[in-house]
Amino acid sequence: MKSAAVTRLVNVLVALALCAVSVPAARAAGPQVNRDILKIKKPHPELMRPILEVREGSGDLTKWTRKGGIDTDLVKEFRWRTAISQAAFMRYEVALEPFPDTATPLPAKNVLTWNLLKMPATKGAQSVFAINFKQALQNAFGTVKPGKSATFYVRLVAFDSQANPLLPVSLPVVLSYAPPAAGTSFGHSMFVRLKGLKCVKATSGLGDDEIRIDIRGASPTAGGLAHPLYSTEQSMNDGKYFGFSKQIWEFNGLGFDRDVLIVAALREYDDQGLAFSYHPSGTGLENAGTNIQALLSNFEEVVCDDDDCVGWPQYLAITEADWQNVALQKQTLTKILTFKGLGGHYELIFELRPK
């Protein structure tokens, strides 16, 4: 009897199993979800965040980190990379205070200086650039040798080909600056000042000339982009002189170290407005190392669109002899860049002064 009962139970279970296999389950009405799509994972935002690090130490002691100090030569080397596929160029920003929101790729109000960086030939490859903190110190304290400590913040922002900022931005690198200890000497100093602009003859257009001055500093080594030192605009006419007395750079050290190449352009913008101070193409002005002619050619191509520059951009030559006369002999020298074009004649006047 027990054997017969077991046999009947087995037959019932087999029948139920066959029904489950042969009868398809009822499907819900409406469109069906392709569940393969749900398996695709989007990159986490943190994986897309540009990586920015500063170099500390040298040789076997080299390390790359997000915290460091600014040495007496004021130059720091950085390395970076990004996985943002739409990035056409990058921009570093230096601030004296923490950026208000690392998720907002817009220039903070406290940005002291910035520059554009070209993308590497291979997407995602690592690149290196350097920042001379002279300009940041000068903008923040009015001197490159302030007598108090400070903390600087550096970050990277990616931009697409239309100059639209892209998320996410990099986490900041934090750098500490401390004034040199008592007895430490920076050597000698020589200040470069924009003294004035003189209109010998106005251009051939009607009315007063609206002249834009654009002065930039390029590294003596090739690579990277030149950064703005000073720009302004003035209404000029025949014989008019406008004085500035604007310090744009400081050379200092125990000897002459030509750590910047200074170039200038004059643009007559009667019909153009001032929309060229930030170039949406992102190309910026490429450094040309010690090839001054290539540097000026790059400058002319970037700044002088529509042939509205007053002549060719000019290079402000500063030599070892100038350093000897100014920094050591305490003389004041005047240097004049002459611009002729569009029927006009202008002189941009600079002054080299000792400390």
Residues 63-104 have pLDDT tens digits of: 899 999 987 778 899 999 999 989 999 999 999 888 876 666
Lowest mean pLDDT among 78-92, 108-122, 163-177, 295-309: 295-309
CA 301, 303, 306, 312: dihedral to nearest 10 degrees? -70
**Same structural domain for residues 349 and 212?**
yes
Question: Residue 252: what pLDDT?
Answer: 81
Q: Residue 180 corresponds to which tokens in the numbers above?
A: 């040199």
Q: Across the strands, what pairs with 56?
A: 63
pLDDT at 13 over 80: no
Question: Residue 194: what pLDDT?
Answer: 95
**Assigned domain for 339 exists:** yes
**Same structural domain for residues 117 and 192?**
no
Q: What is the CATH number of the domain that holds 70?
A: 2.60.40.2550
| For range 157-165, the mean pLDDT | 89
Q: What is the DSSP letter of 346?
A: E
- Cβ–Cβ under 8 Å, residues 323 and 256: yes
Which has the higher per-residue pLDDT, 303 or 264?
Answer: 264
Place of tokens 């153009």: 272
**Assigned domain for 8 exists:** no
Share of the chain above pLDDT 90, in %: 32
- Cβ–Cβ under 8 Å, residues 185 and 117: no
Q: What is the DSSP letter of 322?
A: H
- Cβ–Cβ under 8 Å, residues 318 and 352: yes
pLDDT at 312 over 80: yes
**Assigned domain for 182 exists:** no
For the full predicted model, state whether its pTM sits above 0.85. Answer: no
Domain boundary among 177, 210, 225: 177
Element (H, E) at 13: helix 2-22
**Same structural domain for residues 147 and 290?**
no
**Same structural domain for residues 150 and 55?**
yes
Identify the band that residue 15 occupies on the pLDDT scale cut at 50, 70 and 90: low
Question: How far is it, in rounded angstroms, from Cα 88 to Cα 94?
Answer: 20
Question: How far is it, in rounded angstroms, from Cα 167 to Cα 144?
Answer: 33
Phi-psi region of 226 (alpha: psi -120 to 50; beta: other; left: phi over 0): beta
Place of tokens 């903190």: 133
- Cβ–Cβ under 8 Å, residues 278 and 245: no
**Same structural domain for residues 341 and 200?**
yes
Place of tokens 């910026």: 284
**Assigned domain for 82 exists:** yes
pLDDT at 20 over 70: no
**Same structural domain for residues 213 and 328?**
yes
**Same structural domain for residues 71 and 203?**
no
Q: Residue 86 corresponds to which tokens in the numbers above?
A: 């739409």
Domains in the chain, number? 2
Which has the higher per-residue pLDDT, 7 or 143?
Answer: 143
**Same structural domain for residues 171 and 195?**
no
What would you report as the CA-atom Rg of the chain, rounded to the nearest whole angstrom? Answer: 31
Q: What is the DSSP letter of 309?
A: B
Share of the chain above pLDDT 70, in %: 74
Q: What is the CATH number of the domain that holds 347?
A: 2.60.40.150
Residue 222 structural domain: 188-354
**Assigned domain for 159 exists:** yes
Degrees, nearest 5: CA angle 251-303-52: 60
**Assigned domain for 140 exists:** yes
**Same structural domain for residues 202 and 259?**
yes
Question: How far is it, in rounded angstroms, from Cα 301 to Cα 56?
Answer: 37
Domain boundary among 177, 212, 237: 177
Question: Residue 256: what pLDDT?
Answer: 79
Helix (H) and strand (E) counts in the chain = 6, 20
Domain boundary among 119, 149, 177: 177
**Assigned domain for 16 exists:** no
Give the tens place of pLDDT for each residue, 194-236.
999 999 999 987 889 999 999 988 877 656 567 778 888 999 9
